[in-house]
Structure 1
Amino acid sequence: MRLLLTFLILLTLIPTQAFAHAWLKLKIATTEYAPYTSTSMEHSGYINHIITQAFLETGVVVEFTAMSWEEALEATRKGEYDAVSYGNFIRSREREFWHSDPISVENLVFYVNKKTGPKNWQALSDLKQYKMGITKDYLYTDEIEAYVKSAPTIVTAPTDNANFDALINGDIDLFPIDQLTGWYILQKDFNEIDRASIQTIEPRISSVTTHLLVPKGNADERLILELFNKGLKQLKLQGEMERFKTLLREGFYQYPEKPVNYDRR
Protein backbone atom coordinates (compact mmCIF):
# COMPACT_ATOMS: atom_id res chain seq x y z
CA MET A 1 0.00 0.00 0.00
CA ARG A 2 2.86 2.39 0.85
CA LEU A 3 4.45 1.73 -2.56
CA LEU A 4 1.13 2.42 -4.29
CA LEU A 5 0.64 5.71 -2.43
CA THR A 6 4.17 6.79 -3.23
CA PHE A 7 3.66 6.00 -6.91
CA LEU A 8 0.37 7.86 -7.07
CA ILE A 9 2.00 10.95 -5.57
CA LEU A 10 4.82 10.77 -8.11
CA LEU A 11 2.26 10.25 -10.88
CA THR A 12 0.75 13.66 -10.17
CA LEU A 13 4.17 15.31 -10.36
CA ILE A 14 5.74 13.68 -13.41
CA PRO A 15 4.78 15.21 -16.79
CA THR A 16 2.92 12.92 -19.17
CA GLN A 17 5.76 13.19 -21.68
CA ALA A 18 7.99 11.33 -19.23
CA PHE A 19 6.13 8.11 -20.01
CA ALA A 20 7.88 7.66 -23.36
CA HIS A 21 7.69 3.87 -23.35
CA ALA A 22 5.17 1.38 -22.06
CA TRP A 23 6.06 0.09 -18.60
CA LEU A 24 2.87 -1.85 -17.91
CA LYS A 25 0.49 -4.02 -19.94
CA LEU A 26 -3.11 -4.61 -18.89
CA LYS A 27 -5.65 -7.17 -20.03
CA ILE A 28 -9.17 -5.82 -20.52
CA ALA A 29 -12.29 -7.88 -21.12
CA THR A 30 -14.58 -6.32 -23.73
CA THR A 31 -17.84 -7.14 -25.49
CA GLU A 32 -19.40 -6.80 -28.92
CA TYR A 33 -21.43 -3.61 -28.60
CA ALA A 34 -20.85 -1.70 -31.82
CA PRO A 35 -20.06 1.05 -32.51
CA TYR A 36 -18.70 1.52 -28.98
CA THR A 37 -16.83 -1.79 -28.69
CA SER A 38 -16.28 -4.41 -31.39
CA THR A 39 -13.40 -6.52 -32.62
CA SER A 40 -14.59 -5.96 -36.20
CA MET A 41 -14.14 -2.19 -35.97
CA GLU A 42 -11.13 0.07 -36.16
CA HIS A 43 -9.36 0.37 -32.78
CA SER A 44 -11.91 -2.16 -31.45
CA GLY A 45 -14.54 0.59 -31.48
CA TYR A 46 -15.05 4.14 -30.26
CA ILE A 47 -14.87 3.57 -26.49
CA ASN A 48 -11.98 1.11 -26.70
CA HIS A 49 -10.05 3.64 -28.78
CA ILE A 50 -10.47 6.19 -25.98
CA ILE A 51 -9.47 3.63 -23.33
CA THR A 52 -6.37 2.65 -25.29
CA GLN A 53 -5.28 6.27 -25.75
CA ALA A 54 -6.01 7.23 -22.13
CA PHE A 55 -3.77 4.48 -20.83
CA LEU A 56 -1.07 5.35 -23.38
CA GLU A 57 -0.95 8.82 -21.85
CA THR A 58 0.52 7.18 -18.74
CA GLY A 59 2.73 4.70 -20.56
CA VAL A 60 0.37 1.73 -20.26
CA VAL A 61 -0.61 -0.55 -23.14
CA VAL A 62 -3.77 -2.63 -23.14
CA GLU A 63 -4.90 -5.86 -24.76
CA PHE A 64 -8.62 -6.45 -25.35
CA THR A 65 -10.27 -9.86 -25.30
CA ALA A 66 -13.88 -10.07 -26.54
CA MET A 67 -16.54 -12.21 -24.88
CA SER A 68 -20.14 -11.98 -23.72
CA TRP A 69 -21.07 -9.35 -21.15
CA GLU A 70 -21.71 -11.86 -18.37
CA GLU A 71 -18.45 -13.70 -19.12
CA ALA A 72 -16.54 -10.41 -19.06
CA LEU A 73 -17.89 -9.49 -15.64
CA GLU A 74 -17.33 -12.95 -14.17
CA ALA A 75 -13.80 -13.41 -15.55
CA THR A 76 -12.78 -9.95 -14.33
CA ARG A 77 -14.26 -10.59 -10.88
CA LYS A 78 -12.05 -13.70 -10.71
CA GLY A 79 -8.94 -11.66 -11.53
CA GLU A 80 -8.42 -13.01 -15.05
CA TYR A 81 -8.61 -9.47 -16.45
CA ASP A 82 -7.65 -6.09 -15.06
CA ALA A 83 -10.82 -4.25 -16.13
CA VAL A 84 -14.00 -4.44 -18.19
CA SER A 85 -14.76 -2.20 -21.15
CA TYR A 86 -17.23 -0.78 -20.55
CA GLY A 87 -20.35 -0.23 -18.40
CA ASN A 88 -22.99 2.34 -17.54
CA PHE A 89 -22.95 3.71 -14.01
CA ILE A 90 -25.02 1.30 -11.92
CA ARG A 91 -25.14 1.82 -8.15
CA SER A 92 -25.60 -1.87 -7.38
CA ARG A 93 -22.39 -2.68 -9.28
CA GLU A 94 -20.29 -0.64 -6.86
CA ARG A 95 -20.13 -3.58 -4.46
CA GLU A 96 -17.76 -5.33 -6.85
CA PHE A 97 -16.34 -2.74 -9.25
CA TRP A 98 -14.89 0.74 -9.23
CA HIS A 99 -16.32 3.08 -11.86
CA SER A 100 -13.71 5.22 -13.55
CA ASP A 101 -14.30 8.88 -14.30
CA PRO A 102 -16.99 9.18 -17.02
CA ILE A 103 -15.84 8.35 -20.54
CA SER A 104 -18.98 9.42 -22.42
CA VAL A 105 -22.66 10.18 -22.00
CA GLU A 106 -25.21 8.03 -23.82
CA ASN A 107 -28.96 8.44 -24.29
CA LEU A 108 -31.12 5.45 -23.43
CA VAL A 109 -34.40 5.47 -25.41
CA PHE A 110 -37.39 3.28 -26.20
CA TYR A 111 -37.79 1.97 -29.73
CA VAL A 112 -41.44 1.03 -30.33
CA ASN A 113 -43.52 -0.77 -32.92
CA LYS A 114 -45.44 2.01 -34.67
CA LYS A 115 -48.70 0.02 -34.71
CA THR A 116 -48.74 -1.57 -31.27
CA GLY A 117 -46.38 0.48 -29.14
CA PRO A 118 -47.06 3.59 -27.06
CA LYS A 119 -46.80 7.05 -28.65
CA ASN A 120 -45.21 8.53 -25.54
CA TRP A 121 -44.81 7.87 -21.84
CA GLN A 122 -44.20 9.73 -18.58
CA ALA A 123 -43.63 6.96 -16.02
CA LEU A 124 -42.65 3.33 -16.37
CA SER A 125 -46.00 2.41 -14.82
CA ASP A 126 -47.63 3.77 -18.02
CA LEU A 127 -46.09 0.87 -19.94
CA LYS A 128 -47.46 -2.11 -18.02
CA GLN A 129 -49.95 -2.98 -20.75
CA TYR A 130 -47.17 -3.31 -23.33
CA LYS A 131 -44.72 -6.16 -23.89
CA MET A 132 -41.20 -4.88 -23.27
CA GLY A 133 -38.19 -6.70 -24.68
CA ILE A 134 -34.89 -6.71 -22.82
CA THR A 135 -31.55 -8.26 -23.70
CA LYS A 136 -30.30 -11.17 -21.55
CA ASP A 137 -27.66 -10.34 -18.93
CA TYR A 138 -27.64 -6.64 -19.79
CA LEU A 139 -27.98 -4.02 -17.03
CA TYR A 140 -29.96 -0.91 -17.95
CA THR A 141 -30.70 1.76 -15.33
CA ASP A 142 -31.53 1.15 -11.68
CA GLU A 143 -35.12 2.25 -12.38
CA ILE A 144 -35.58 -0.14 -15.32
CA GLU A 145 -33.99 -2.97 -13.36
CA ALA A 146 -36.55 -2.46 -10.61
CA TYR A 147 -39.38 -2.26 -13.15
CA VAL A 148 -38.26 -5.47 -14.92
CA LYS A 149 -38.42 -7.39 -11.63
CA SER A 150 -42.06 -6.43 -11.03
CA ALA A 151 -43.63 -6.01 -14.49
CA PRO A 152 -45.63 -8.99 -15.85
CA THR A 153 -44.97 -8.25 -19.54
CA ILE A 154 -41.18 -8.57 -19.87
CA VAL A 155 -39.76 -10.70 -22.71
CA THR A 156 -36.05 -11.58 -22.66
CA ALA A 157 -34.05 -12.15 -25.86
CA PRO A 158 -30.42 -13.24 -26.23
CA THR A 159 -29.29 -10.25 -28.31
CA ASP A 160 -30.27 -6.72 -29.28
CA ASN A 161 -30.81 -7.91 -32.85
CA ALA A 162 -33.27 -10.54 -31.64
CA ASN A 163 -35.18 -7.84 -29.78
CA PHE A 164 -35.36 -5.71 -32.92
CA ASP A 165 -36.65 -8.74 -34.85
CA ALA A 166 -39.34 -9.24 -32.21
CA LEU A 167 -40.21 -5.54 -32.26
CA ILE A 168 -40.56 -5.43 -36.05
CA ASN A 169 -42.64 -8.63 -36.06
CA GLY A 170 -44.95 -7.31 -33.35
CA ASP A 171 -43.95 -9.94 -30.77
CA ILE A 172 -43.01 -7.10 -28.39
CA ASP A 173 -44.18 -3.49 -28.31
CA LEU A 174 -41.12 -1.61 -27.09
CA PHE A 175 -37.43 -2.12 -26.43
CA PRO A 176 -34.95 0.03 -24.43
CA ILE A 177 -31.51 0.51 -25.97
CA ASP A 178 -28.81 3.11 -26.35
CA GLN A 179 -29.91 5.40 -29.16
CA LEU A 180 -26.70 5.28 -31.18
CA THR A 181 -26.37 1.52 -30.84
CA GLY A 182 -29.96 1.06 -31.96
CA TRP A 183 -29.41 3.28 -34.98
CA TYR A 184 -26.21 1.41 -35.87
CA ILE A 185 -27.83 -2.04 -35.66
CA LEU A 186 -30.83 -0.97 -37.71
CA GLN A 187 -28.68 0.55 -40.44
CA LYS A 188 -26.33 -2.43 -40.55
CA ASP A 189 -28.66 -5.43 -40.23
CA PHE A 190 -32.18 -4.35 -41.23
CA ASN A 191 -33.75 -3.07 -44.44
CA GLU A 192 -35.64 0.15 -45.07
CA ILE A 193 -39.07 -1.49 -44.74
CA ASP A 194 -38.14 -2.94 -41.34
CA ARG A 195 -36.75 0.40 -40.14
CA ALA A 196 -39.93 2.20 -41.25
CA SER A 197 -42.07 0.01 -38.96
CA ILE A 198 -40.46 1.23 -35.73
CA GLN A 199 -39.51 4.54 -34.15
CA THR A 200 -38.17 6.10 -30.95
CA ILE A 201 -40.49 7.92 -28.58
CA GLU A 202 -40.12 10.82 -26.18
CA PRO A 203 -39.01 11.41 -23.57
CA ARG A 204 -35.74 9.52 -23.52
CA ILE A 205 -35.36 7.14 -20.59
CA SER A 206 -32.18 8.72 -19.29
CA SER A 207 -28.74 9.97 -20.11
CA VAL A 208 -26.17 7.63 -18.63
CA THR A 209 -22.46 7.99 -18.08
CA THR A 210 -20.13 5.21 -19.21
CA HIS A 211 -17.07 3.97 -17.36
CA LEU A 212 -14.14 1.59 -17.30
CA LEU A 213 -14.94 -1.03 -14.65
CA VAL A 214 -12.08 -2.03 -12.36
CA PRO A 215 -12.68 -5.00 -10.03
CA LYS A 216 -12.42 -4.50 -6.31
CA GLY A 217 -10.17 -6.89 -4.44
CA ASN A 218 -7.30 -6.60 -6.94
CA ALA A 219 -4.02 -5.50 -5.33
CA ASP A 220 -3.49 -2.98 -8.15
CA GLU A 221 -7.10 -1.76 -8.36
CA ARG A 222 -6.46 1.81 -7.23
CA LEU A 223 -3.32 2.12 -9.35
CA ILE A 224 -5.18 1.03 -12.51
CA LEU A 225 -8.05 3.39 -11.73
CA GLU A 226 -5.75 6.36 -11.10
CA LEU A 227 -3.69 5.69 -14.22
CA PHE A 228 -6.79 5.59 -16.40
CA ASN A 229 -8.38 8.66 -14.82
CA LYS A 230 -5.16 10.62 -15.22
CA GLY A 231 -4.86 9.66 -18.89
CA LEU A 232 -8.53 10.42 -19.55
CA LYS A 233 -8.17 13.85 -17.95
CA GLN A 234 -5.17 14.54 -20.16
CA LEU A 235 -7.13 13.63 -23.30
CA LYS A 236 -9.88 16.01 -22.26
CA LEU A 237 -7.41 18.83 -21.63
CA GLN A 238 -5.88 18.26 -25.08
CA GLY A 239 -9.29 18.41 -26.76
CA GLU A 240 -8.90 14.81 -27.96
CA MET A 241 -12.37 13.72 -26.88
CA GLU A 242 -13.93 15.92 -29.56
CA ARG A 243 -11.72 14.28 -32.16
CA PHE A 244 -12.95 10.82 -31.13
CA LYS A 245 -16.56 12.04 -31.43
CA THR A 246 -15.82 13.40 -34.91
CA LEU A 247 -14.37 10.04 -35.97
CA LEU A 248 -17.49 8.32 -34.64
CA ARG A 249 -19.87 10.69 -36.45
CA GLU A 250 -17.96 10.35 -39.70
CA GLY A 251 -18.14 6.57 -39.60
CA PHE A 252 -14.42 5.98 -39.22
CA TYR A 253 -14.76 3.12 -36.74
CA GLN A 254 -17.27 1.35 -39.00
CA TYR A 255 -15.41 2.12 -42.23
CA PRO A 256 -11.69 2.38 -41.40
CA GLU A 257 -10.72 2.57 -45.07
CA LYS A 258 -12.20 6.08 -45.09
CA PRO A 259 -9.36 8.65 -45.38
CA VAL A 260 -9.51 10.28 -41.94
CA ASN A 261 -6.45 11.73 -40.22
CA TYR A 262 -6.36 10.08 -36.79
CA ASP A 263 -2.72 10.83 -35.95
CA ARG A 264 -2.80 11.45 -32.20
CA ARG A 265 0.02 14.00 -32.24
Structure 2
Amino acid sequence: MLASLLLPALLAVMLPTQAEPKTLRIGTGDWAPYVDQGRSDGGALARLISAVFAESGYRVEYFFHPWDRNVLMLQQGQLHAIMPYSCSPSRLNYGVCSDPLVRGEVVLFHRRDKAFDWQHVEDLLRYRIGTTLGYSYGPAFDEALQAGSLQVELSGKEETSFRLLELGRIDLHPQDRAVGYAMLRRLFPDGGSHITHHPRFLNKEPLRLLFRKDDPAAAELLHQFNAGLRRFAGRGDLQSLQQALNSGNADDWLPSAPSQAARE
Protein backbone atom coordinates (compact mmCIF):
# COMPACT_ATOMS: atom_id res chain seq x y z
CA MET A 1 0.00 0.00 0.00
CA LEU A 2 2.81 2.37 0.95
CA ALA A 3 4.62 1.61 -2.31
CA SER A 4 1.52 2.40 -4.35
CA LEU A 5 1.23 5.78 -2.59
CA LEU A 6 4.88 6.65 -3.03
CA LEU A 7 5.09 5.73 -6.72
CA PRO A 8 3.11 8.71 -8.11
CA ALA A 9 5.12 11.11 -5.95
CA LEU A 10 8.39 9.51 -7.05
CA LEU A 11 7.40 9.72 -10.71
CA ALA A 12 6.46 13.35 -10.30
CA VAL A 13 9.97 14.08 -9.04
CA MET A 14 11.72 12.00 -11.71
CA LEU A 15 9.71 13.11 -14.77
CA PRO A 16 10.85 16.36 -16.44
CA THR A 17 8.47 19.27 -16.02
CA GLN A 18 7.87 21.90 -18.65
CA ALA A 19 8.40 25.38 -17.21
CA GLU A 20 5.64 27.89 -17.68
CA PRO A 21 6.70 30.62 -20.12
CA LYS A 22 7.52 33.94 -18.50
CA THR A 23 4.98 36.67 -19.28
CA LEU A 24 6.16 39.95 -20.76
CA ARG A 25 4.13 43.16 -20.52
CA ILE A 26 4.27 45.28 -23.66
CA GLY A 27 2.55 48.65 -23.92
CA THR A 28 1.05 49.84 -27.18
CA GLY A 29 -1.79 51.90 -28.61
CA ASP A 30 -4.74 51.18 -30.87
CA TRP A 31 -3.01 51.81 -34.20
CA ALA A 32 -4.54 49.57 -36.86
CA PRO A 33 -3.42 47.93 -39.04
CA TYR A 34 -0.16 47.62 -37.06
CA VAL A 35 -1.84 47.07 -33.67
CA ASP A 36 -5.55 46.52 -33.21
CA GLN A 37 -7.22 46.47 -29.79
CA GLY A 38 -10.34 44.97 -31.33
CA ARG A 39 -8.55 41.75 -32.30
CA SER A 40 -7.83 38.99 -29.81
CA ASP A 41 -4.31 38.59 -31.24
CA GLY A 42 -3.56 42.33 -31.05
CA GLY A 43 -2.99 42.87 -34.77
CA ALA A 44 -0.18 42.20 -37.25
CA LEU A 45 2.80 43.56 -35.28
CA ALA A 46 1.56 41.95 -32.09
CA ARG A 47 1.40 38.60 -33.91
CA LEU A 48 4.98 39.06 -35.10
CA ILE A 49 6.35 40.08 -31.69
CA SER A 50 4.49 37.32 -29.87
CA ALA A 51 5.87 34.74 -32.30
CA VAL A 52 9.43 36.03 -31.94
CA PHE A 53 9.31 35.94 -28.14
CA ALA A 54 7.55 32.56 -28.11
CA GLU A 55 10.58 30.97 -29.75
CA SER A 56 12.63 32.22 -26.77
CA GLY A 57 10.15 30.84 -24.22
CA TYR A 58 8.11 33.96 -23.45
CA ARG A 59 4.46 34.82 -23.78
CA VAL A 60 3.34 38.41 -24.29
CA GLU A 61 0.45 40.41 -22.88
CA TYR A 62 -0.39 43.70 -24.59
CA PHE A 63 -1.67 46.73 -22.71
CA PHE A 64 -3.30 49.53 -24.69
CA HIS A 65 -2.68 53.05 -23.39
CA PRO A 66 -2.20 56.56 -24.75
CA TRP A 67 1.28 56.85 -26.26
CA ASP A 68 2.68 59.22 -23.63
CA ARG A 69 1.42 56.98 -20.81
CA ASN A 70 3.24 54.00 -22.35
CA VAL A 71 6.48 55.97 -22.16
CA LEU A 72 5.90 56.88 -18.50
CA MET A 73 5.08 53.26 -17.57
CA LEU A 74 8.22 52.04 -19.34
CA GLN A 75 10.35 54.54 -17.46
CA GLN A 76 8.77 53.43 -14.19
CA GLY A 77 9.45 49.75 -14.94
CA GLN A 78 5.76 48.80 -15.21
CA LEU A 79 6.26 47.53 -18.77
CA HIS A 80 9.01 45.41 -20.30
CA ALA A 81 8.78 47.25 -23.64
CA ILE A 82 6.57 49.51 -25.73
CA MET A 83 5.76 49.47 -29.45
CA PRO A 84 5.61 50.45 -32.25
CA TYR A 85 7.83 53.52 -31.89
CA SER A 86 10.29 55.27 -34.15
CA CYS A 87 13.77 55.63 -32.69
CA SER A 88 13.73 59.43 -32.37
CA PRO A 89 16.59 61.23 -30.56
CA SER A 90 14.37 62.22 -27.62
CA ARG A 91 13.40 58.59 -27.01
CA LEU A 92 17.03 57.56 -26.72
CA ASN A 93 17.13 59.51 -23.45
CA TYR A 94 15.12 56.76 -21.74
CA GLY A 95 14.93 53.86 -24.19
CA VAL A 96 16.90 51.41 -26.31
CA CYS A 97 15.54 50.50 -29.72
CA SER A 98 15.22 47.06 -31.25
CA ASP A 99 16.14 46.23 -34.80
CA PRO A 100 13.50 47.44 -37.31
CA LEU A 101 10.17 45.61 -37.48
CA VAL A 102 8.62 47.30 -40.50
CA ARG A 103 8.88 50.70 -42.21
CA GLY A 104 6.40 53.43 -41.37
CA GLU A 105 5.64 56.22 -43.85
CA VAL A 106 4.26 59.44 -42.35
CA VAL A 107 2.36 61.66 -44.79
CA LEU A 108 0.17 64.76 -44.53
CA PHE A 109 -3.56 64.12 -44.89
CA HIS A 110 -5.83 66.92 -46.18
CA ARG A 111 -9.27 67.45 -47.66
CA ARG A 112 -9.57 66.79 -51.38
CA ASP A 113 -11.45 70.06 -51.92
CA LYS A 114 -8.55 72.15 -50.60
CA ALA A 115 -5.48 72.40 -52.82
CA PHE A 116 -2.29 71.69 -50.91
CA ASP A 117 1.36 71.34 -51.82
CA TRP A 118 4.59 71.55 -49.88
CA GLN A 119 8.34 71.05 -50.21
CA HIS A 120 9.81 71.90 -46.80
CA VAL A 121 8.50 72.07 -43.23
CA GLU A 122 8.67 75.89 -43.49
CA ASP A 123 5.87 75.65 -46.07
CA LEU A 124 3.55 74.33 -43.33
CA LEU A 125 3.69 77.37 -41.05
CA ARG A 126 0.46 78.91 -42.37
CA TYR A 127 -1.63 75.77 -41.94
CA ARG A 128 -3.61 74.53 -38.94
CA ILE A 129 -2.23 71.07 -38.14
CA GLY A 130 -3.77 68.38 -35.94
CA THR A 131 -1.23 66.39 -33.92
CA THR A 132 -1.43 63.64 -31.32
CA LEU A 133 0.11 63.73 -27.85
CA GLY A 134 3.19 61.50 -27.54
CA TYR A 135 3.67 61.07 -31.28
CA SER A 136 6.84 61.74 -33.31
CA TYR A 137 6.52 62.90 -36.92
CA GLY A 138 10.17 62.98 -37.92
CA PRO A 139 13.16 65.18 -36.98
CA ALA A 140 12.31 68.26 -39.07
CA PHE A 141 8.65 68.41 -38.05
CA ASP A 142 9.40 67.65 -34.38
CA GLU A 143 12.01 70.41 -34.27
CA ALA A 144 9.54 72.95 -35.68
CA LEU A 145 6.92 71.68 -33.24
CA GLN A 146 9.22 72.10 -30.23
CA ALA A 147 10.23 75.56 -31.42
CA GLY A 148 6.58 76.61 -31.47
CA SER A 149 6.71 77.50 -35.17
CA LEU A 150 3.67 75.49 -36.19
CA GLN A 151 -0.03 76.13 -35.60
CA VAL A 152 -1.07 72.90 -33.93
CA GLU A 153 -4.25 71.48 -32.45
CA LEU A 154 -3.01 68.87 -29.97
CA SER A 155 -5.27 65.99 -28.95
CA GLY A 156 -4.97 62.75 -27.02
CA LYS A 157 -6.60 60.56 -29.68
CA GLU A 158 -5.56 60.26 -33.30
CA GLU A 159 -9.12 59.95 -34.56
CA THR A 160 -9.85 63.45 -33.19
CA SER A 161 -7.64 65.05 -35.84
CA PHE A 162 -9.42 63.24 -38.65
CA ARG A 163 -12.78 64.40 -37.34
CA LEU A 164 -11.49 67.99 -37.14
CA LEU A 165 -10.10 67.65 -40.66
CA GLU A 166 -13.45 66.38 -41.92
CA LEU A 167 -15.16 69.41 -40.33
CA GLY A 168 -12.62 71.83 -41.82
CA ARG A 169 -11.40 72.99 -38.41
CA ILE A 170 -7.83 72.00 -39.26
CA ASP A 171 -6.04 71.87 -42.62
CA LEU A 172 -3.59 69.00 -42.18
CA HIS A 173 -3.04 65.88 -40.13
CA PRO A 174 0.32 64.05 -40.21
CA GLN A 175 -0.20 60.33 -39.89
CA ASP A 176 1.28 57.00 -40.95
CA ARG A 177 -0.20 56.27 -44.37
CA ALA A 178 -1.40 52.72 -43.59
CA VAL A 179 -2.84 53.79 -40.23
CA GLY A 180 -4.51 56.85 -41.73
CA TYR A 181 -6.48 54.96 -44.35
CA ALA A 182 -7.43 52.20 -41.92
CA MET A 183 -8.73 54.87 -39.55
CA LEU A 184 -10.68 56.66 -42.28
CA ARG A 185 -12.39 53.40 -43.26
CA ARG A 186 -13.42 52.90 -39.65
CA LEU A 187 -14.53 56.48 -38.89
CA PHE A 188 -16.60 57.44 -41.91
CA PRO A 189 -19.36 55.57 -43.80
CA ASP A 190 -17.78 56.49 -47.14
CA GLY A 191 -14.30 55.52 -45.98
CA GLY A 192 -13.23 59.14 -45.83
CA SER A 193 -13.30 59.53 -49.61
CA HIS A 194 -13.18 63.33 -49.20
CA ILE A 195 -9.78 63.06 -47.49
CA THR A 196 -6.51 62.17 -49.20
CA HIS A 197 -2.76 62.49 -48.59
CA HIS A 198 0.06 64.40 -50.22
CA PRO A 199 2.50 62.00 -51.93
CA ARG A 200 5.58 63.59 -50.34
CA PHE A 201 6.70 61.78 -47.18
CA LEU A 202 6.97 63.84 -44.02
CA ASN A 203 9.04 61.01 -42.57
CA LYS A 204 9.96 57.49 -43.59
CA GLU A 205 11.36 55.51 -40.70
CA PRO A 206 11.44 51.98 -39.25
CA LEU A 207 9.08 51.12 -36.40
CA ARG A 208 10.64 49.29 -33.47
CA LEU A 209 10.20 47.80 -30.03
CA LEU A 210 11.51 50.12 -27.30
CA PHE A 211 13.10 48.76 -24.11
CA ARG A 212 14.13 50.60 -20.95
CA LYS A 213 17.57 52.18 -20.95
CA ASP A 214 20.24 51.20 -18.37
CA ASP A 215 18.33 48.07 -17.32
CA PRO A 216 20.32 44.77 -17.50
CA ALA A 217 17.15 42.65 -17.70
CA ALA A 218 15.83 44.81 -20.54
CA ALA A 219 19.16 44.55 -22.33
CA GLU A 220 18.95 40.75 -22.22
CA LEU A 221 15.38 40.81 -23.56
CA LEU A 222 16.51 43.13 -26.35
CA HIS A 223 19.35 40.74 -27.25
CA GLN A 224 16.98 37.76 -27.37
CA PHE A 225 14.38 39.65 -29.36
CA ASN A 226 16.83 40.90 -31.98
CA ALA A 227 18.28 37.42 -32.41
CA GLY A 228 14.79 35.98 -32.90
CA LEU A 229 13.79 38.78 -35.23
CA ARG A 230 16.76 37.99 -37.47
CA ARG A 231 15.52 34.40 -37.74
CA PHE A 232 12.10 35.62 -38.83
CA ALA A 233 13.67 38.02 -41.31
CA GLY A 234 15.65 35.11 -42.74
CA ARG A 235 12.40 33.20 -43.26
CA GLY A 236 10.95 36.15 -45.19
CA ASP A 237 8.41 37.23 -42.54
CA LEU A 238 9.38 40.91 -42.34
CA GLN A 239 9.26 41.32 -46.10
CA SER A 240 5.87 39.62 -46.38
CA LEU A 241 4.49 41.71 -43.51
CA GLN A 242 5.64 44.94 -45.14
CA GLN A 243 3.99 43.89 -48.38
CA ALA A 244 0.76 43.06 -46.53
CA LEU A 245 0.76 46.48 -44.84
CA ASN A 246 1.37 48.31 -48.12
CA SER A 247 -1.40 46.40 -49.89
CA GLY A 248 -3.98 46.71 -47.09
CA ASN A 249 -3.95 42.98 -46.28
CA ALA A 250 -2.23 43.09 -42.89
CA ASP A 251 -5.22 41.55 -41.09
CA ASP A 252 -4.65 38.30 -42.98
CA TRP A 253 -0.89 38.12 -42.41
CA LEU A 254 0.49 35.34 -40.20
CA PRO A 255 4.09 34.69 -39.09
CA SER A 256 5.76 31.54 -40.35
CA ALA A 257 6.52 28.53 -38.16
CA PRO A 258 10.15 27.53 -37.57
CA SER A 259 11.49 24.57 -39.54
CA GLN A 260 11.95 21.20 -37.85
CA ALA A 261 15.71 21.71 -37.92
CA ALA A 262 15.39 25.05 -36.13
CA ARG A 263 13.23 23.49 -33.41
CA GLU A 264 15.72 20.70 -32.69
Relative to the length of structure 2, the TM-score reads: 0.82
Give per-residue Cα distances to partners, 1:106-163, cap 9 Å, x unaligned.
1110001233452x21101112111111112322212111112322421112322111
**Number of matched pairs:** 239
Cα gap change, 1:247 to 1:117, in 2 (>3 Å): closer
- State whether residues 68 and 133 of structure 2, in contact with CA within 8 Å, keep that contact through their aligned partners in structure 1: no
Instruction: Let me know the Cα RMSD of the aligned residues.
Output: 2.3
CA distance in 2 between counterparts of 1:158 and 1:64 reads 20
CA distance in 2 between counterparts of 1:69 and 1:245 reads 23
Residue 99 of structure 1 pairs with residue 97 of structure 2:
yes
Q: How does 1:3-82 map to 2 (within 5 A)?
A: 23-82=21-80
Residue 203 of structure 1 pairs with residue 196 of structure 2:
no
CA distance in 1 between counterparts of 2:102 and 2:250 reads 18
Relative to the length of structure 1, the TM-score reads: 0.82
- Name the SS for the 1:177 alignment partner: strand
- State whether residues 35 and 41 of structure 1, in contact with CA within 8 Å, keep that contact through their aligned partners in structure 2: no
CA distance in 1 between counterparts of 2:139 and 2:150 reads 18
Match of 2:171 in 1: 173
Runs of 4+ in 1 over 3 A off after TM superposition: 20-24, 242-252, 260-263
How much has 1:173 moved relative to structure 2? 0.7
Q: Which stretches in structure 1 are left out of the alignment for 5+ residues?
A: 1-19
- Name the SS for the 1:137 alignment partner: coil
CA distance in 2 between counterparts of 1:100 and 1:263 reads 20
Match of 2:219 in 1: 222
How much has 1:250 moved relative to structure 2? 6.3
Match of 1:145 in 2: 142
- State whether residues 26 and 62 of structure 1, in contact with CA within 8 Å, keep that contact through their aligned partners in structure 2: yes
Q: Which stretches in structure 2 are left out of the alignment for 5+ residues?
A: 1-17, 259-264
CA distance in 2 between counterparts of 1:215 and 1:117 reads 43
Match of 1:132 in 2: 129
Cα gap change, 1:58 to 1:22, in 2 (>3 Å): farther
- Name the SS for the 2:153 alignment partner: strand
CA distance in 2 between counterparts of 1:264 and 1:58 reads 13
CA distance in 2 between counterparts of 1:229 and 1:185 reads 30
